[in-house]
Amino acid sequence: MPIELHDPVVALMREVARDVVMPRYQNLRADEISEKAVDDFVTIADKESEIRLAEELSRILPEAGIIGEEACAADPAILDRAAEGLNWIIDPIDGTGNFAAGRAPFGIMIALADAGTTLAGWILDPLTGRLCHATLGAGSQIDGQKVQARESGDPLPVAALAVYFMTPEERADIQRRSSGQFALVDIPRCAAEQYPRLVLGQNDISVFARTLPWDHAAGTLFLNEAGGCCQRLDGSAYRVGDLRRGLLGASSPRLWDLAADKLFR
């Protein structure tokens, strides 16, 4: 089924990027940006993008439910059924803080999950047009070309650590553990960019504190199907609807084991 859905989903994402997202880029009024929580922004473009995506995805696959970031912000109870049955998972603009500030990166992310297992995922960069896609058991592609995750090749593994949602104690611990073990780089605050970096050899390791499905369903599948490794800190698989904190991604299983040992054991 995901193979048959690919073309209409990609066409929809490109249309929404062109017609809804990009016209608002660097063109937002102050009253079109608000905070859902501290340092967690939403814009009129997020809301309009999700409405358009949800409407059209429901036409593409009517039997699937909709789990959208902005709908869940308005009604958190929607998340309770994220692990049940067939669902579209929608992040209408990932990296909203960047988008609202008029800078890259940001993206549109869609996944299709069945009973918590991600079947397919799509990640679109509206600025460059780059499309990352994965289907469970069939590998990963970037712009239609098969891709294999690769390590950066730097002397120290390159680590991008999303510490901003950690407690002060967690942040201090992971920074102490990583000192001298990894080459630390800034994280783009955009999972739609961070997962491709792990596959393309730009970064080797990422740690995420929050694991909400719209941020990670598509990306974890993309990284794993490319031969990388993205799992819970205890080594269990990421599943949609499991809202536990903590997720570790790496460009290879070897580096995942190394990072888990150095950072969490």
Q: Which of 24, 194, 40, 212 is nearest to 125 (CA)?
A: 194
Report whether 184 contacts 163 (CB < 8 A): no
pLDDT of residue 165: 75
Q: Which pTM was predicted? A: 0.95
208 three-class SS: strand
Residue 8: predicted pLDDT: 97
7 belongs to an annotated ligand binding site: no
91 labeled part of a ligand binding site: yes
Distances in Å between the Cα of 220 and the Cα atoms of 44, 61, 188 are: 28, 22, 17
* Separation CA 179–CA 40 (nearest Å): 28
Give the span between the Cα atoms of 193 and 27, in whole angstroms. 22
Q: Confirm whether 2-146 and 158-264 share one CATH topology.
A: no
Whether the CB-CB separation of 174 and 163 falls below 8 Å is answered with yes
**C-beta separation of 53 from 68 below 8 A:** yes
- Burial class for 262, CB neighbours closer than 10 Å (0-12, 13-18, 19+): middle
Tokens linked to 229: 């490794």
**110 near 100, Cβ under 8 Å?**
no
Is domain 158-264 annotated with CATH 3.40.50.9100? Answer: no
Secondary structure (3-state) at 65: strand
pLDDT digits (tens, 9 = 90+) for 51-104: 999 999 999 999 999 999 999 999 999 999 999 999 999 999 999 999 999 999
Domain ranges of the chain: 2-146, 158-264
Nearest CA to 205 among 158, 242, 173, 138? 158
**Interatomic CA distance for residues 201 and 199, integer angstroms:** 6
Q: Is there a binding annotation on residue 94? A: yes
Q: Does domain 2-146 have CATH number 3.40.50.150?
A: no
- Comparing CA positions, the residue from 31, 197, 60, 223 lying closest to residue 134 is 223
Distance separating alpha carbons of residues 120 and 112, to the nearest angstrom: 5
Structure tokens of 4? 């048959």
215 known ligand binder: yes
Q: Hey, what are 218's tokens?
A: 């598509």
**Residue 173 marked in a binding site:** no
pLDDT at 1: 61
Can you list the residues of the chain whose pLDDT is less than 70? 1, 38
How far, rounded to the nearest angstrom, does the alpha carbon of residue 228 sit from its chain's CA centroid? Answer: 15
HSE of 197, CA atoms in CB hemisphere, 13 A: 21
Q: Residue 49: how many CB atoms within 10 A of its CB?
A: 27
